[in-house]
Amino acid sequence: MAQFAPCVGIDVSKARLDVAIFPDGTGFAVDNTPAGWAELGRRCADLAVATIGLEASGGYEQGVARALQEQGFTVRLLNALRVRRFAEALGKLAKNDSIDADVIARFVATVPGRPFERPGPARDTLRAVLTARQQRSDQLVLVGNQAQGAPEPLLARLAKRQIASLRADIRLLEARMAEIVQANPDLARRYRLLCSVPGVGPVLAFTLLAELPELGAIDRHKIAALVGVVPYDFDSGTMKGKRAIWGGRAAVRRVLSMAALVASRHNPDLKALRERLAAAGKPPKVALVAVMRKLITILNAMLRDGREWKSAQAPSPAA
């Protein structure tokens, strides 16, 4: 009988890593600390493990993923929703740490995927600062909404003070991201190319550099799917349902949607696309997704070719 190298699934929490081995059906747990990562690596090496899978877990997975890669293992970071759907297909409706680890191991052994790519120190730092900025931006919206309906003057004053503090933090974090990018020649080059496009500002550029390192390295269809701006069919028999986008990296898509709104007004190519879709009777949301998809494919091609943006609407030079 053919022998298969075992695959490992890890359910990640702040303090602990629950580990399952497939097809052995065995498992164990280690601390989510450097000592625990070292023990995990030793035990996986003894088992001649082929691939290790774990879900993104609020950043708690980053340390162990990097440690395992440094030890020479193939590591995959998995989409939690896909793993859950896989568990339901297996009939595993119960959910706890050991069951989740076993499902992840089975998923890795069954479903092909790309290995986790280490972002590098500069991109890793950029992503951490970007996350802090996004957290404060979300807080700013929340506090602003609370301040509008504050029935007590004291609450309004406190909200005003908090808003000023959050805005100062955001400016400081944006300045820090600019420093990180300018100190890294590759990030600085990519940032310059991205910002040459009308409608692409620093926040989108920082987000793409931190959260979408594949930009410029894969084809336009894959990059659009990775962001989550590909409309998928919803048909069955004679029923023709509405197309809808699904999956992708929500953090990128959220910022891209805001940039697409601006670009559809100020970028001549994207403005022409939006107007053409509106004239064809397409709903505004459909037009916006189309602009997002066009924008990300333009950026992908620019980074692939190492060239700045040039409008297709610009007149050709006289012969």
Element housing 26 (H / E): none
Please report the pLDDT score of residue 237 as a whole number: 53
Distance CA(29)–CA(31), nearest Å, equals: 7
3-state secondary structure of 52: strand
Q: Domain-by-domain residue ranges, the chain?
A: 7-110, 121-183, 195-309
Token pair, residue 305, equals 């070719």
Residues of the chain with pLDDT under 50: 1-2, 233-236, 239, 241, 316, 318-319
The answer to whether 194 and 204 are in contact (CB under 8 A) is yes
- What is the per-residue pLDDT across 83-136, written as a single tens digit (0 to 9) for each? 998 999 988 887 888 899 999 999 999 998 878 776 678 988 999 999 999 999
* Residue 6 amino acid letter: P
The CATH class for the domain spanning 7-110 reads alpha beta
Q: What is the mean pLDDT of the chain?
A: 88
Following CA atoms 78, 232, 215, 56 in sequence, which dihedral angle do they give, to the nearest 10 degrees?
A: -20
